[in-house]
Structure 1
Amino acid sequence: MKTGIEIVTGFLSSGKTSMINIILGENIDKDKKIVIIQCEMGQKEINEKEINENIIIEKIPKGNSLEEMYIKQIVDKYSPDKIIIEQNGMETIEELLNQLDTKSMRKYTRIERIINIIDCKQFNMLMGILGNNLINKISYSDLIILNHVDGVSDDELEDINKKIGSINKSGLVIEINEHEKFLDYTKNKETNKIWKGTIYDKLSILFLIVASIYLSINLLISIDFSKFNIDFSNIYILNTIFISILMESFPFLILGVFISSIIQIFVTRDMIVKYFPKNKIISFLVAIVGGLFFPVCDCAIVPVVSRLVKKGVPLYAAVTFMLAAPIVNPIVIVSTYYAFPGQPQIMIFRLIIGIIVAIITGILFLIFPEGEMTVKSHELDNLCNCIYCNNINNGDIKGKISTIFKHAGEEFFDVGKFLIIGALLTSFFQVIIPKDIILKLGGDSVTAILLMMSIGFLFSLCSSSDAFIARSFLNQFSLSSIMGFMILGPMIDIKNLIMLSDIFSKRFIIKLTFIICNVTFSAICFFTILYLG
């Protein structure tokens, strides 16, 4: 049986030893042998009441690091049921995990949990001094305990939670007041937190959602309802539409998230910021062309734009870049081409109209500039909103490849759930709503355009796969309204608004949304008059 390992990390005086005392106190089976490896000696000692013949304490001499051979010796010597490692706060968590992740170590041990204790009173100071070291500890943690929350203001605590949420999407965060001394930390502390699960949990849930919907539809199909004189032919149609959309769009979604992840890992934001021109005309051109090479990934575009603005890139150029990137991305171009076989003009129309909308929006921000408070001061301009992008820039090639797959998996779930919901809603929309209503809506150009723009905003689909949803509407709606769906959705939707609200001012978001909606609607109307008569 493998020995379970719990890692308790955090900086000096954060409360690591107190946490270990709680773990020992929760050990119901006192016959289990536990080895505590202390790599850092703080002011607090292991509680003597918890120490017995089955609790062994090993202390690493000051200045020495924990090595694989030492851990093997501990396993061979004591054959423990559990090892608790109190990590030195100044050492990186990656070094320790690399020691535990070797092939030989995995034969005898397994990492059960990583606990990170953070002193709220020192958080901002440590973030400024240690940066990536602290970010790495947070990103790998399963449980994050915010200690001394009564030592900071409510605004500071909210800011800390936002920063931690940006770094780690799956870890459970618990807030502890100083006077509680970690008592009852497991009781009712997580009620105000949302469980987000690991990437493997998320992908399993995504699979179960698709499987449940598919099996439910097919169960209805398999039942003989003829004796009830009920027509269930629409169920067959719904099933066909739903599955066909997913089967056609998933390959492009997977390809899109992988290319997105590769570029996210190997093309740093500093590169973009460094080489982004400040000349007005050239910056517009780079903003459009840059979309050909930058990923569609929502966790990349918005933070990069905020970084560009804070580094001095004109807001109008940054906005143009943000709007053009999801439209001119090569994966989006190819997926749109395949979604409408025999109609390459649709792909060309989408590309041209998207670029025009992005440029006009940027020009409007040039003519009517924003103030200096566009980007919120608490925004983490060096962080991606996904859990894996904070510790890969300095890693080896093996670590970067691993991160690509993890990032792709995380992003696939984030956008995949929207695709499934969108495919299901589209299927119901076309099957349940009477044909005469759809024809009436589709026949009124203005109403149809506004309706499809609204659907694009609400569905929040990834632009690498939304063309397949759009194609399913082609028989009911005009081409111009389909364009409204494919142009507006990637530029501004619900999920983008949520991300923007955490980084940009409300005034900027309202102005941006108003301009995008109006420019898109105007461009589609002009397109209708010019090309469709």
Structure 2
Amino acid sequence: MTAFSPLKALPLLLPAAFLIIPAVLWLPQHSELLDSAYLYTFKTGFIGILLEALPFVLAGSLLSSLIGVFVPDEAIARWIPRRVLPALLFACLLGVIVPICECGMIPLVRRLLRKGMPLHVGVAFILSGPILNPVVFAATLTAFRSHPSLAYARMGLAFAVAFLIGLILYVTVKKSPLRLSIPRGSGPEHQHGTRGGKFAAVFTHAADDFFEMGKFLIFGCMLTSLIQTFVVQSSLASIGARPLGSYLFMMGFAFILSLCSTSDAFVGAAFLHSFPAGSLLAFTVLGPMLDFKNALMLLSLFKTRFAFYLFFLIASIVFTGSILLSGWL
């Protein structure tokens, strides 16, 4: 049994605080909110979002595990073109055939970077892979079935952001920003001998990914249902009516919730009638690229200065791109 690491609990602290603080300080003074009608609305919204998202999380976990077990890292590295523009195009489209969620993406790219993958290609893959894959597209199209343009805009903006950031890093970063200490033996390929073969490893790692992502999904569904149930709709409408406020709110919401890319669209769809479509686009693109848990993982992979430089590029380009696309949505 592995020892418990406090760092593993950090991504849960902010969502937990959002649930505990109102319960302790606010709800006792507003006992009418505990009326059965409110509880029924909360329960219905929570179960509805959760059940709609779970199949896509499960499918994403299974596909991610299949790729991690059966596709060697060296095979992916050999496919990378030498010239920068084709290499970035390849990295952005690699997620279509390598559907790995954002939590599995960083360990995979860490191994590839250590085996010679260029930095700009690796970062473009980290940013685009969790969004540009068939599972996420199908989940987004299902969540925004009444606004399918959001699903297409999500794919397009994710591609543009990843490609542009990769190009910026190619021009501006000349020294390796990787941290020196990279643990070995942590990937799926090192565990086949002790897990009963490759097929057993597929289901073992898929189950690990599913339950790892499941807790974030439950927190996201719970917090969204609480907001939809207990926050006055006029308050949400007032935030959504502010052009910049709605974008900043939804981007901050995506960072705090730390949802899986196969489920965040279902949470975002709950705000479809309160917030402009552009802010929901920012929510669905920023979350898989930069959230609380990803920030910690990127800080463990890259040096601090480079990591914050990357955070700034992601947030600013997603913000600008979402505003530019809002007129089309």
TM range (shorter): 0.7 to 0.9
Partner of 1:158: none
Q: Please report how far the alpha carbon of residue 382 of structure 1 lies from its aligned counterpart in structure 2 after TM superposition.
A: 5.8
Question: Larger % of strand: which?
Answer: 1
Q: Please report how far the alpha carbon of residue 285 of structure 1 lies from its aligned counterpart in structure 2 after TM superposition.
A: 1.4
CA contact (8 A) 1:293 1:329 kept: yes
- Aligned match of 2:129 in 305, 325, 343? 325
Task: Tell which has more relative contact order, 1 or 2 (C-alpha 8 A, sep 6+).
Answer: 2
- Aligned match of 1:481 in 259, 267, 279? 279
CA contact (8 A) 1:418 1:461 kept: yes
The answer as to 2:63 corresponding to 1:259 is yes
**Mapping for residues 333-352 of structure 1, pairs under 5 Å:** 333-352=137-156
**Mapping for residues 132-171 of structure 1, pairs under 5 Å:** 142=1, 171=2
**Mapping for residues 292-311 of structure 1, pairs under 5 Å:** 292-311=96-115
**Cα distance change on mapping 1:471 and 1:274 into 2, 3 Å:** same
Q: Please report how far the alpha carbon of residue 378 of structure 1 lies from its aligned counterpart in structure 2 after TM superposition.
A: 1.0
Q: Which runs of 5+ in 2 are unaligned?
A: 9-30
Offset from partner CA, 1:36-92 (integer Å, 9 cap, x none): xxxxxxxxxxxxxxxxxxxxxxxxxxxxxxxxxxxxxxxxxxxxxxxxxxxxxxxxx
CA contact (8 A) 2:255 2:286 kept: yes
SS at match of 2:56: helix
- Aligned match of 2:93 in 262, 275, 289? 289
Partner of 1:357: 161
Partner of 2:183: 380
CA contact (8 A) 1:278 1:313 kept: no
Q: Which runs of 5+ in 1 are unaligned?
A: 1-141, 143-170, 174-192, 197-224
Paired with 1:350 and 1:297, the residues of 2 have a C-alpha distance of 16
Structure exhibiting the larger radius of gyration computed from Cα positions = 1
Offset from partner CA, 1:309-345 (integer Å, 9 cap, x none): 3333322221111101011111001111111224322
Partner of 1:459: 257
Partner of 1:68: none
Find runs of 4+ consecutive structure 1 residues off by over 6 angstroms. none
SS at match of 2:97: coil
Paired with 2:326 and 2:185, the residues of 1 have a C-alpha distance of 42
Partner of 1:518: 316
Paired with 2:211 and 2:257, the residues of 1 have a C-alpha distance of 15
Partner of 1:428: 226
Q: Please report how far the alpha carbon of residue 395 of structure 1 lies from its aligned counterpart in structure 2 after TM superposition.
A: 8.5
SS at match of 1:464: coil
CA contact (8 A) 2:179 2:303 kept: yes
Partner of 1:401: 199
Paired with 1:230 and 1:469, the residues of 2 have a C-alpha distance of 23
**Cα distance change on mapping 1:370 and 1:454 into 2, 3 Å:** farther
- Aligned match of 1:391 in 182, 191, 196? 191
Partner of 2:21: none
The answer as to 2:78 corresponding to 1:278 is no
Partner of 2:54: 250
Which amino acid in structure 2 is aligned with residue 257 of structure 1?
S
Partner of 1:416: 214
Q: Please report how far the alpha carbon of residue 257 of structure 1 lies from its aligned counterpart in structure 2 after TM superposition.
A: 0.6
Partner of 1:130: none
SS at match of 2:239: helix
**Cα distance change on mapping 1:337 and 1:504 into 2, 3 Å:** same
Q: Which moved more, 1:244-253 or 1:335-344?
A: 335-344
Q: Please report how far the alpha carbon of residue 298 of structure 1 lies from its aligned counterpart in structure 2 after TM superposition.
A: 3.7
Instruction: Give the aligned CA root-mean-square deviation in angstroms.
Output: 2.4
TM-score norm. by structure 2 comes to 0.87
Which amino acid in structure 2 is aligned with residue 402 of structure 1?
A
Q: Please report how far the alpha carbon of residue 229 of structure 1 lies from its aligned counterpart in structure 2 after TM superposition.
A: 11
**Cα distance change on mapping 1:381 and 1:481 into 2, 3 Å:** farther
Offset from partner CA, 1:447-468 (integer Å, 9 cap, x none): 1011101111111111011111
Paired with 1:333 and 1:318, the residues of 2 have a C-alpha distance of 22
**Cα distance change on mapping 1:298 and 1:345 into 2, 3 Å:** closer
Paired with 2:33 and 2:317, the residues of 1 have a C-alpha distance of 51
CA contact (8 A) 2:102 2:288 kept: no
Partner of 2:173: 369
**Cα distance change on mapping 1:317 and 1:455 into 2, 3 Å:** same
Which amino acid in structure 2 is aligned with residue 351 of structure 1?
M
**Cα distance change on mapping 1:350 and 1:299 into 2, 3 Å:** closer
CA contact (8 A) 1:303 1:381 kept: no
CA contact (8 A) 1:448 1:481 kept: yes
Q: Please report how far the alpha carbon of residue 433 of structure 1 lies from its aligned counterpart in structure 2 after TM superposition.
A: 1.4
TM-score norm. by structure 1 comes to 0.55
Q: Percent identity?
A: 33
The answer as to 2:299 corresponding to 1:501 is yes
Paired with 1:229 and 1:268, the residues of 2 have a C-alpha distance of 54
Partner of 2:27: none
SS at match of 1:408: helix
**Cα distance change on mapping 1:243 and 1:292 into 2, 3 Å:** same
Q: Please report how far the alpha carbon of residue 303 of structure 1 lies from its aligned counterpart in structure 2 after TM superposition.
A: 2.4
Which amino acid in structure 2 is aligned with residue 248 of structure 1?
E
Which amino acid in structure 2 is aligned with residue 507 of structure 1?
R
Offset from partner CA, 1:437-493 (integer Å, 9 cap, x none): 111001112110111011111111110111111111111111111111100000011
Which amino acid in structure 1 is aligned with residue 316 of structure 2?
N
CA contact (8 A) 1:304 1:381 kept: no
